[in-house]
Amino acid sequence: MKWFWILGVLLGAGGPVRAQMDSVVICLEKIKTATEDSVRLEYAGEIEYFIRSSAFGSYRTEKPVKYLGYKRSDDAGIELFSWAVPLREGQAFYNLFRFKNPERSYLIKALPGDRMAWLFYDFVPFEHQKQGYVLLLGWSKTRNTNRKAVWVACFHPDGTVTYNHPLLRKGESRSASLTFEYALDASMLLKQDKNGKRILFDHLAPTDPKYEGYFMFYGPDASCDALVLKKEEWWYEENLTN
């Protein structure tokens, strides 16, 4: 009942869009102060409700909500909201994708230990053989390392999402995903370029050759690689010069 009361007050103060985002802010603050995992997850579910209640494209990027990730592709009619929930055994990740035409939404929720335990922060829509796909860029962590990944996803009309699409190429090899692992105190570039035709990323290497294979000692080595969209597939290119 208290959430409906809060929503009613805010509706009168500044309109439905502001009310919904203000309610999201309240939920995120409650998650920070809650002491029980069950309570944190309950508030996380409320965030999903308030976002779904807003109109597509109504989020005001000039007034971003702290701790709430947001990306939108106007050309593809897709927007992404993402948020993380700290738990005793790790983090829960919520990724809400919304499509404008036809109107539909997909929640990719992951608890600690789940296979798709990633917080997605960017995406690139593309087509392959007249089928729409979305390249997802995500972050996660283990006890000893940071992780980033690229996944090829397909959002189906029946509400399901599949990831077994080997459209990443390196020579004769094919893959549906590309994962990176590196030190907790390091940072790694993984982003799309301004045209959405390349995914740029730091090349990772151990700080000393003796740490080969121990990813907690890996970090960027000042070189850059990429996935480049060619003929509807993403090709791995090393040592970019521009």
d(CA 37, CA 56) in angstroms, rounded, equals 30
Give yes or no for residue 3 having a pLDDT over 90.
Answer: no
**What pLDDT is stored for residue 106 in this prediction?**
98
Task: Note the pLDDT tens digit of each residue in 57-102.
Answer: 999 999 999 999 999 999 999 999 999 999 999 999 999 999 999 9
Task: Give the mean pLDDT of 163-175.
Answer: 97
Task: Note the pLDDT tens digit of each residue in 92-139.
Answer: 999 999 999 999 999 999 999 898 899 999 999 999 999 999 999 999
Higher pLDDT, 196 or 41: 41
Higher pLDDT, 99 or 21: 99
Compute how many other C-beta atoms are within 10 angstroms of the C-beta atom of residue 34: 16
Question: Do 203 and 220 meet the contact criterion of CB atoms below 8 Å apart?
Answer: yes
Domain coordinates in residue numbering, the chain? 13-113
- Helix (H) and strand (E) counts in the chain: 3, 15
| Half-sphere exposure of residue 64: CA atoms within 13 angstroms, side-chain side | 10
Compute how many other C-beta atoms are within 10 angstroms of the C-beta atom of residue 82: 22
**What pLDDT is stored for residue 104 in this prediction?**
96
d(CA 42, CA 115) in angstroms, rounded, equals 22
